Amino acid sequence: MSESKVKEKEVKVQSRRFKRKNLRTKAERIIKRPESWMFNDRRQMINISKISEIIPQKISEILQSV
- Tell if the pTM clears 0.85, that is, is over it: no
Residue 5 to residues 1, 10, 11, 57, Cα–Cα distance (Å): 6, 9, 10, 37
pLDDT of residue 54: 77
d(CA 52, CA 47): 9
pLDDT at residue 50, rounded to an integer: 72
Count of structural domains within the chain: 1
Banded pLDDT at 64 (limits 50, 70, 90): confident
pLDDT digits (tens, 9 = 90+) for 15-53: 666 565 666 666 666 666 655 555 555 556 666 667 777
Domain that includes residue 50, residue range: 3-65
Per-residue confidence (pLDDT) for residue 33, from 0 to 100: 64
Please say whether the beta carbons of 49 and 34 come within 8 A. Answer: no
